[in-house]
């Protein structure tokens, strides 16, 4: 590879970067996809981490935000295509239940109609009647998407995107990128696997956007440090709760809003169910973010977070639990930056907590932009531009 100049180098083998590489390679572009793999031991890892190092993320199309609904609708056939192409199981169609304010349910019902999703709406009483294992908040109506929703396996999604990119001719390199510099009409990438050159570079580095010497380290983005609680269930409890969809509960009191990932069998035979909450956003340096990823998350919030699930699922019996840290990256517009940072370097950064379910659609937007294709009229490009 020494001496070779790629047409495009994508930095970050995560959810959005791998998709971008795939779409570029499918279009005949000579692509380098370079990024670090998941750490073997996160507590001792000294490089970068990722937002997708997990086995479940909520997937749904129905959304109070029409841009997100459009993107997830766009991603669904891409996910099915990736599954067929690679044999990876990405989407687990267990359905999604969203409980929240009536005004937002009404907006979601409109997106349900526009996109023909076949959702069901429930009054608060109907939610309790329909989902008998739950004790939902008495004042929240709901909307339920039965197909094309549930949860995705983000690791499988990334593996499939990477495999599809490779099948289409992408060169994939496992390396830490320390610098991305424009030099002599090209861009040089200094990495732990040596130096590479490309005509254009896409930075898709997730929460580590400010790592190293790259044009993205000037971006003023915030991050949310999140703690997910993994509950291990007995076989009987897993059977009792087997039909549960993925669930989001959005209450007026932000501290009582949470999401639930239903029981999922693990390769080691255990069954795990997860609960998470969204906390405030802040500015953190790459080394502070790395410290968070090496930690066990916010242990002070753990009892409250556990109680949310115990209140929601009465008589829940768990064999044990553990906490895991993660980080989401945010912009002011609430959407990723898909825009130039310099003449030759662009960004595909900041999933804003929603990029897992529509990563391929976001990667496609970034790829098509580089290919000079028109931006889709259904979504406002300004939302994706650099401030
Ligand atoms: C707890 C939690 C729950 C979430 N729940 C949902 C959900 O239910 N639904 C949903 O849609 N989304 C959810 N998200 C958000 C979703 O996971 C992220 O938006 C998505 O993973 C972002 O993808 P990305 O490609 O931007 O970043 P990442 O997946 O983090 O990928 C970035 C990649 O870049 C690599 N990298 C970074 N810097 C360098 C460097 N210098 N050199 C080499 N490689 C580098 C990293 O190793 C990583 O592989 C959740 C996130 C968290 C943390």
Residue in 12, 20, 264 to alter for ligand 1 test, most ligand atoms within 8 A of Cβ? 12
CB-hemisphere CA count at 13 Å for 108? 25
Give the model's pLDDT for residue 254. 86
Atom 23 of ligand 1: nearest residue by CA position: 15
Separation of CA 207 and ligand 1 centre (Å): 7
Atom 46 of ligand 1: nearest residue by CA position: 50
Nearest Cα to 135, choosing from 311, 318, 317? 311
Residue in 57, 156, 262 to alter for ligand 1 test, most ligand atoms within 8 A of Cβ? 57
357 CA: nearest ligand 1 atom: 11
Nearest Cα to 271, choosing from 334, 214, 319, 323? 319
pLDDT digits (tens, 9 = 90+) for 7-64: 999 999 999 999 999 999 999 999 999 999 999 999 999 999 999 999 999 999 999 9
pLDDT at 79 over 60: yes
Does the beta carbon of 189 sit less than 6 angstroms from any atom of ligand 1?
no
Residue in 69, 293, 353 to alter for ligand 1 test, most ligand atoms within 8 A of Cβ? 353
Mean pLDDT value across the chain: 96
What is the DSSP-derived secondary structure letter of residue 132? T
| pLDDT band with cut points at 50, 70 and 90 for residue 342 | very high
Separation of CA 102 and ligand 1 centre (Å): 31
Cβ neighbours of residue 211 closer than 8 Å, sequence gap 6 or more: 48, 205, 217, 286
Residue in 9, 51, 289 to alter for ligand 1 test, most ligand atoms within 8 A of Cβ? 51
Does the beta carbon of 191 sit less than 6 angstroms from any atom of ligand 1?
no
Separation of CA 14 and ligand 1 centre (Å): 6
pLDDT digits (tens, 9 = 90+) for 92-131: 999 999 999 999 999 999 999 999 999 999 999 999 999 9
CB of 179 closer than 8 Å to CB of 211? no
Separation of CA 3 and ligand 1 centre (Å): 31
Give the model's pLDDT for residue 279. 77
Give the model's pLDDT for residue 1. 62
Give the model's pLDDT for residue 2. 55
Separation of CA 351 and ligand 1 centre (Å): 7
Does the beta carbon of 58 sit less than 6 angstroms from any atom of ligand 1?
yes
State the pairing for strand pair 150-152/177-183. unpaired
Does the beta carbon of 142 sit less than 6 angstroms from any atom of ligand 1?
no
Nearest Cα to 197, choosing from 218, 217, 173? 173
Nearest Cα to 154, choosing from 91, 216, 202, 103? 91
Q: Could you give the 3-state DSSP secondary structure of residue 33?
A: strand
Residue matched to tokens 């190293």: 212
Give the model's pLDDT for residue 184. 86
Domain boundary assignment for the chain: 5-53+155-219+333-384, 95-150+222-330
Give the model's pLDDT for residue 313. 97
Alpha-helix runs per DSSP H in the chain = 15-26, 66-86, 102-115, 124-130, 154-167, 235-240, 286-294, 302-312, 359-370
Give the model's pLDDT for residue 3. 64
First to last CA, the chain: 36
Give the model's pLDDT for residue 337. 98
Residue in 9, 10, 15 to alter for ligand 1 test, most ligand atoms within 8 A of Cβ? 15
Give the mean pLDDT of 286-299: 97
pLDDT at 299 over 70: yes
pLDDT at 185 over 80: yes
Give the mean pLDDT of 376-385: 98
Give the model's pLDDT for residue 168. 98
pLDDT digits (tens, 9 = 90+) for 224-264: 999 999 999 999 999 999 999 999 999 998 889 999 999 99
Residue matched to tokens 């549930």: 150
Give the mean pLDDT of 76-104: 98
Residue 328 CB burial class (10 angstroms; 0-12, 13-18, ≥19): buried
Separation of CA 154 and ligand 1 centre (Å): 9
CB of 60 closer than 8 Å to CB of 96? yes
pLDDT digits (tens, 9 = 90+) for 196-215: 999 999 999 999 999 999 99
Give the model's pLDDT for residue 280. 84
- Tell me yes or no: is domain 5-53+155-219+333-384 CATH 1.10.357.10: no
What CATH number should be reported for the domain whose range is 95-150+222-330? 3.30.9.10
Give the model's pLDDT for residue 257. 96
Does the beta carbon of 206 sit less than 6 angstroms from any atom of ligand 1?
yes
Does the beta carbon of 325 sit less than 6 angstroms from any atom of ligand 1?
no
Give the model's pLDDT for residue 278. 82
SS (HEC) of 162-230: HHHHHHCCCEEEECCEEEEEEECCEEEEEECCEEEEEEEEEECCHHHCCCCECHHHHCCCEEEEEEEEE
Does the beta carbon of 52 sit less than 6 angstroms from any atom of ligand 1?
yes
18 CA: nearest ligand 1 atom: 25
């Amino acid at each position: 590879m020494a001496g070779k100049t790629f047409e495009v180098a994508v930095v970050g083998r995560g959810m959005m970067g791998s998709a971008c590489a795939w779409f570029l390679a499918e279009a005949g572009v000579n692509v380098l996809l370079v990024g670090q793999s998941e750490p073997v031991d996160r507590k001792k890892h000294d490089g970068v981490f990722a937002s997708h190092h997990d086995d479940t993320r909520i997937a749904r199309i129905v959304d109070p935000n029409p841009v997100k609904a459009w993107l997830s609708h766009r991603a669904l056939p891409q996910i099915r295509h990736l599954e067929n192409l690679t044999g990876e199981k990405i989407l687990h169609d267990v359905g999604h239940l969203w409980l929240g304010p009536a005004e937002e349910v009404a907006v979601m019902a409109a997106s349900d109609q526009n996109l023909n999703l076949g959702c069901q709406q429930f009054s608060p009483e109907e939610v309790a009647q329909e989902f008998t294992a739950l004790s939902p908040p008495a004042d929240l109506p709901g909307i339920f998407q039965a197909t094309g929703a549930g949860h995705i396996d983000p690791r499988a999604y990334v593996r499939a995107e990477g495999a599809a990119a490779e099948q289409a001719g992408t060169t994939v390199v496992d390396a830490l990128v320390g610098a991305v510099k424009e030099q002599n009409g090209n861009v040089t990438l200094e990495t732990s696997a040596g130096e590479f050159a490309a005509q254009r570079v896409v930075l898709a580095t997730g929460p580590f956007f400010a790592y190293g010497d790259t044009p993205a380290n000037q971006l003023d983005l915030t991050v949310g440090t999140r703690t997910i609680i993994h509950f291990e269930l007995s076989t009987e409890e897993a059977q009792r709760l087997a039909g549960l969809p993925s669930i989001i509960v959005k209450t007026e009191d932000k501290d009582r809003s949470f999401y639930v990932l239903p029981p999922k069998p693990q390769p080691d035979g255990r069954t795990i169910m997860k609960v998470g909450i969204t906390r405030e956003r802040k500015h953190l340096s790459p080394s502070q973010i790395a410290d968070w990823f090496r930690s066990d998350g916010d242990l002070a919030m753990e009892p409250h977070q556990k109680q949310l699930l115990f209140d929601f699922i009465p008589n829940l019996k768990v064999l044990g639990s553990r906490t895991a840290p993660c980080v989401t990256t945010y912009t002011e517009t609430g959407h990723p930056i898909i825009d130039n940072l310099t003449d030759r370097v662009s960004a595909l950064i900041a999933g804003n907590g929603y990029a897992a379910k529509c990563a391929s659609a976001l990667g496609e937007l970034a790829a098509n932009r580089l290919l000079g294709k028109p931006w889709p009229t259904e979504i406002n490009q300004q939302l994706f531009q650099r401030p």
